[in-house]
Structure 1
């Protein structure tokens, strides 16, 4: 849990995704890892933990990510879905400036150094 709760939560698949995002964002946001496939118990736990909060789903652009995203669309219909370009496939493999632009489009504060494009 972030030290200061700003009401935002990002749900990702793995720890490497979480680390990648943590290095880019400037505001205190809780990042929850599903660790790939998700059980009903874990899904219920996430739903309880994100009640009345602004939820963002940022998972890989592959079959497993699509399946997870579909499950979250059903169970957390109010969540906003964020997408990395399919050419990068994985959140952890996407360039930091690409992830920063995805996050900034959702009004998530990011480090300015990642907003420069070459």
Structure 2
């Protein structure tokens, strides 16, 4: 059995966000949880590990998510940012079809039953 190197990495805030995304995606994607914040040391370590990978940022549409997104824009400018509708506020509580739609718009394959 050979191990496949995952080329796409999705950064989310928490475990419930990760669970939501895992429920709708249909391709191998590494999902990293920041648990709401990330230290500069951890971020530097992450940047080194993410070199040459497609990195996507999907955080909540609230103040904490906005702060985290700004930090990633500054420190990881090549990452693609995925936005949920502000009406849903949290990735974890957004409807599956909405999460699937925003992931698909970022070229992440999703299970068709959520579209």
Instruction: Give the TM-score normalised by structure 2.
Output: 0.95
User: CA contact under 8 A between 1:4 and 1:28: conserved in structure 2?
Assistant: no
1:82 maps to which residue? 82
CA distance in 2, matches of 1:83, 1:19: 17
Structure 2 gap segments, 5+ residues each: none
How many residues of Structure 1 are paired with residues of Structure 2 in the alignment?
113
* Cα distance, 1:6 vs structure 2: 3.5
1:12 maps to which residue? 12
The runs of at least 4 consecutive aligned structure 1 residues that moved more than 4 Å come to: none
User: CA contact under 8 A between 1:55 and 1:80: conserved in structure 2?
Assistant: yes
2:62 maps to which residue? 62
User: CA contact under 8 A between 1:56 and 1:80: conserved in structure 2?
Assistant: yes
* Cα distance, 1:5 vs structure 2: 2.7
* Cα distance, 1:95 vs structure 2: 0.2
1:2-37 per-position Cα deviation (integer Å, ceiling 9, x unaligned): x63341000000010001000100100000000111
Instruction: Give the TM-score normalised by structure 1.
Output: 0.92
CA RMSD of aligned residues (A): 0.9
